[in-house]
Chain A
Amino acid sequence: MSSHVDETCVNNTWHINQAHFLESWGDVSGYQGAGIIQPLIAPLFDGKSTIDVLADLLSEEETWAYGEVHKTWSDILNDANFDKAWRRVVHDGFIALDRESQVALNRSMTQAAVSSSNFYRPTATTTEMEVIFSASFSNYDGRYANNGWMQELPDPITKLTWDNVALMSVGTAKALGVKNEDRLKISNSGTDLFLPVWVLPGLADNTITVELGFGRDIGRISRGVGSDVNVIRKSTAINIASGFKVAKAPGKHTLACVQDHHGMDEEQLAADAIQERLPTIVRESSLSDYQKDPAFAMAFAEKEELRSLWKEHDYSDGNQWGMAIDLNTCTGCSACTIACQSENNIPVIGKEEVNNGRDMSWIRLDRYFSGDVEDPEMVFQPIACQHCEMAPCEGVCPVAATTHSEDGLNEMAYNRCIGTRYCANNCPYKVRRFNFFNFTKDMPEIVQMAMNPDVTIRFRGVMEKCTFCVQRINVAKIEAKNDSRDLVDGDVVVACQQACPTDAIAFGNINDPQSEVSRIKAQNRDYALLGELNLQPRTSYGAKLRNLNPAIDGSNPAIET
């Protein structure tokens, strides 16, 4: 019984078409309480829920999920006026239940576990390499592999899409004489696995990291993407295995990477330029230095006041939307990218087009390495349209398809856009995305149903980019107007902000000094990316502070490691 025909299903005699859990009644239970699942839609493919099937098997009379859930809850609620209590819990969706208190954490046990001697010590050599099997960042063990969003979501560190690779350190690559996109043969007792090479700074030498979740045989999206690494994985060494022969194999394998395409920064000229720019792009400091110099993030700002050549528009009135992104709390998880893709109907374009450098994400995560290539530091920087007040994209559009709104949004009129791409050229943040083809042409009907009806699907030849979720702003405005009130802070929550697990993104009215975004922007860590261009972006960044444990950063040798 499963919702998809997968590799297991095809080896079975019988298969029951399982409904999605939101296509059927059900219930859930947790520590704090229990809740009821209501179906959102009749089963699209006539599927049956697990409750349906089990009830059918166990019960003599004909029964359905609704009846079973109803029956269960009559026991849970145990109320004389059951109908009323049932309606309430269906309405609320949740009921708090008194459960037994949580088990206390056994500290002594954890302390014993976290002893340095328990850590794995590498014994791998160039001839006997170690292989680490790790779950794919986006596909996990392969269960999400048939989802285009997941395949196209760049791995936060490698920035690769649509493939799994053999990750190795710079030293190991040198020892094996391989470069990015070379094919690598990993052999273990007669079984060979071929994977493309990707060199990643900061990995342990003589260790190859491979990702699970690829090389599936079934699925419109997942079939044939990447390679199945289970062929060299054994149940006796399921996470880390050693004793592998690793050698370069003939041929090349093209990888679709959204940053440093094809490892371009192997070139010294570019690598130097990146390191030269990095301190101004991603401003960071250590906690102790920050305490000494709290205004360090401003240190890169122009000394003289920046002046415009023409009279600037007055934005002192009404709601003025702005965003603050805290680099300190951003973990690079990429949830914002997927949230945005879901909210704004951003198409999936496939490996070939990603490789052509046409990825469509409206908010991307830039990843930079700095310092020693063997032991580098790494930062993430989410970048979406900065909604510059002096937007360079607007002046160059010959048909005025991108203009500024009264509330400070840089807007795209898709119907007006003819696709000269001049705006994208002139954007220093390179956040504009062009529909080089009709990317939604072959979208299955079922996927069309998943599109957000509040957002236009863009046709080919049209430029698009982050809108600050203008559709959500408008809904909030309409609701406020219906209630005859002004918008208050928190009325508008943009998709990336909503999805961010660490609340690194704040959004709101920057004209209101009490709004969350204004208070964050008032902090001394706040800086504008490429602020010296005087484009006056509405998005600003909170400088990153590092507070490394002295046991890790090596600055305190007294602590035994």
Chain B
Amino acid sequence: MSILNKHPERDPSVAEAVASDELLVTGGHTFTTLTDKVSGIVEKKTPPQWYLLFAMAISGLLVLLGAIGWLVFEGTGIWGLNNPVGWGWAIVNFVFWVGIGHAGTLISAILFLLRQQWRTAINRFAEAMTIFAVICALVFPGIHVGRIWLAYYMFPIPNQMLIWPNFRSPLLWDIFAVGTYFTVSTLFWYVGLIPDLATLRDRATKLRKKVLGFFALGWRGGNRQWQHYEKAYLMLAGLATPLVLSVHSVVATDFATSMVPGWHTTIFPPYFVAGAVFSGFGMVMTLALIARKIYGLEDIITVNHLERMNKIILVTGSMVGYAYLSEFFIAWYSGNQFEVFAFINRALGPYAWAYWIMFTCNVITPQIFWFKKVRRSIPIMFVASIFVNIGMWFERFVITVTSLSRDYLPSSWDYFSPSFWDIITFVGSFGLFFTFFLLFLRFLPMVALSEVKGVLPEADPHHYSHKDGGAK
């Protein structure tokens, strides 16, 4: 690993660095203590909080399965959809979960390529979060169709009807975009896991050793293995990077290519990506704060890491706010009465409450991170990170529902209200997410051990002799 840090004892600038909190791992950890700390989480007794949370998550999952069962049995009518509003919470939830699934790969791929070493503390579980969020996302397009048992028509499978899917439809692009993103993210996550799985294997016995050994793919940590591994990781990072940007751009085209006023805007792809990163970091923040508390990872996920994430939340949140304002400007500038009305209706119409929840959470909340004290205050950032995700859910709701509820012909206008089933399906999707996430915390190393070790001073014993010309 070429990512290095300065040696605390030999370099005078280290004292300065410690003072300014730039050290990536605090608490005087060595390779051994780190291994013990992280591996211990999955090897030692599971904390009771885990069982409580897992019981809640499984209950949520069962609720989701029940809601889906009733949906298949009875029909899409159990949701609150109506004639102008053909897409409701299912699509809102889909976009919401896909958005959350952005942070992981952004942290692991883009920040990796940009040599942002602070990513190592959070990348593993951010990636896991990505995968589970994308799984949650993929549930919704599958179940929201009227005839779920025929959803496979969307896949380009050769068939006796000699008919292909319609490659002009953005829904089909979605299948490819989200499918590819899911595959590459999973692969990337797994490749990153291999050295750590080997570490766990070496500490395990009996069946655990065998299972971990199988998934560690015979990793021995040799020089050649590291060489190949790092090349593979770099290539996967290169592959994943455009996908981070493409997947939500494609999801945005579901709306942008349509002709519904309020959907038909070219700003959507970049605006959706910014929003996705924003919500993804919000979610990583929420989860990181809980996990670090329960598992005592304050030395690895330091306040410095959290502060940097807050900066990203501030930047992307401001981008989202800019997009909101520019939408209004463009609507006015277009001179198109339908477009103008769509936006005035959002802010002042029957869904104004949703619009202002969105605006407050997404535009005003992140602005508090201009202050360093706030950026480093854990209670404030915890609340803010939850606000961010509430706001981002409402953003998708506002875009999807308000635009559809009032489009061209006023005779068809109608108001959408969610049904009981809409609500529990959404709540249940959190059950699915947390079931996966808690299993991950229980059985896999939640911190990328090998990478964190790479940013320890010990990983670069010769750095002092290279001065600043050394590899960074």
Contact = CB atoms under 8 A, between A and B. Distances in A.
A396 interface: yes
B350 interface: yes
A416 interface: yes
B189 to A, nearest CB: 28
Nearest to B152: A418
A418 B84 contact: no
A425 B87 contact: yes
A264 interface: yes
Contact of A460 (B146, B257, B412): B146
Nearest to B81: A436
B86 A421 contact: yes
B407 interface: yes
B425 to A, nearest CB: 16
Contact of B154 (A260, A264, A398, A428): A398
A436 B74 CA distance: 9
Nearest to B83: A357
Contacts of A259: 411-412
A430 B150 contact: no
A430 B154 contact: no
Interface stretch (B32-40, B160-168, B208-216, B243-251): B160-168
A127 B172 CA distance: 64
Interface stretch (A172-180, A272-280, A479-487): A272-280
Nearest to A436: B77
Contacts of B170: 396
A265 to B, nearest CB: 8
Contacts of A51: none
B7 interface: no
A424 B168 contact: no
Contact of A429 (B81, B254, B409): B409
A416 B408 contact: no
B53 interface: no
B151 interface: yes
A530 interface: yes
B363 to A, nearest CB: 22
A430 B407 contact: yes
Contacts of A364: 411
A438 B72 CA distance: 12
Contacts of A434: 76, 81, 83, 86, 146
Given A418-B151, A425-B87, A428-B407, A399 B166 contact: yes
A378 to B, nearest CB: 13
A475 interface: no
A196 to B, nearest CB: 19
Contact of B341 (A262, A273, A383): A273
Nearest to B84: A430
A433 interface: yes
A437 B74 contact: yes
B409 A428 contact: yes
A418 B154 contact: yes
A43 to B, nearest CB: 37
Contacts of A437: 74-75, 77
Contact of B411 (A366, A399, A421, A436): A366
Q: Which of A259, A260, A399, A419 has the most CB of B within 10 A?
A: A399
A383 B146 contact: no
Given A261-B415, A399-B166, A274 B410 contact: yes
Interface string B137-169: 000000011111011011000000101111011
Contacts of B148: 461
Which of under 10, 10 to 19, 20 to 34, or 35 or more describes the interface residues of A? 35 or more
Contacts of B150: 418
Nearest to A355: B82
Interface string B242-270: 00000000000010011110000000000
Given A273-B341, A392-B259, A420-B171, A461 B146 contact: yes
A358 B85 CA distance: 10
Contacts of B153: 398-399, 416, 418
Contacts of B74: 437
Contacts of B171: 396, 398, 420, 422
Contacts of B169: 395-398, 422
A273 B410 contact: yes
Given A430-B409, A436-B76, A438-B75, A421 B87 contact: yes
B260 A426 contact: yes
A264 B82 contact: no
A209 B172 CA distance: 53
Nearest to A261: B414
- List the 6 shortest-distance A-B pairs measured between CB atoms, nearest first: A419-B146, A461-B146, A357-B82, A436-B77, A421-B86, A430-B412
Given A421-B87, A459-B147, 12 more contacts: A366-B411, A368-B411, A398-B153, A422-B86, A428-B407, A428-B408, A429-B408, A429-B409, A434-B76, A434-B81, A438-B75, A460-B146
Interface of A: 259-262, 264-265, 267, 269-270, 273-274, 276-277, 281, 353, 356-359, 364, 366-368, 381, 383, 392, 395-400, 416-422, 424-426, 428-430, 433-438, 459-463, 530, 533
25 contacts: A260-B413, A264-B413, A269-B349, A270-B410, A358-B77, A358-B82, A358-B83, A364-B411, A396-B169, A398-B166, A398-B172, A399-B153, A399-B165, A399-B166, A400-B164, A416-B153, A416-B161, A420-B146, A422-B254, A422-B258, A424-B86, A425-B87, A426-B259, A428-B407, A430-B412
